Amino acid sequence: MCFTGNSELNNRTTTSKRQHWRGILIAAFLLIILFVFILFMIYLICRRCVSPPMPLTNHAKKNYATMLNSCMFL
């Protein structure tokens, strides 16, 4: 008796199942990347459209200058 046909069929089945799960994992990974990208784009769009609660005038400039000066002396 020769059982090579049955074992070959089992190997094909496990290989196709592995490829199936591999494809699902790749698709899920790509969907997660797409979702994060969409959230980031929404964040950037909303950040530009919504005005800040207080206008960024001299206060922000002073903070930036302070940051630059403090970094120069480190």
Q: Average pLDDT of the chain?
A: 75
Model pLDDT for residues 27-36, shown as the tens digit of each residue: 999 999 999 9
Model pLDDT for residues 42-62, shown as the tens digit of each residue: 999 998 887 656 655 555 556
> Strand, coil or helix: what is 55?
coil
How many angstroms separate the CA atoms of 67 and 64, rounded?
A: 5
Tell me the pTM: 0.49
How many angstroms separate the CA atoms of 45 and 40, rounded?
A: 9
Give the pLDDT score at 11. 73
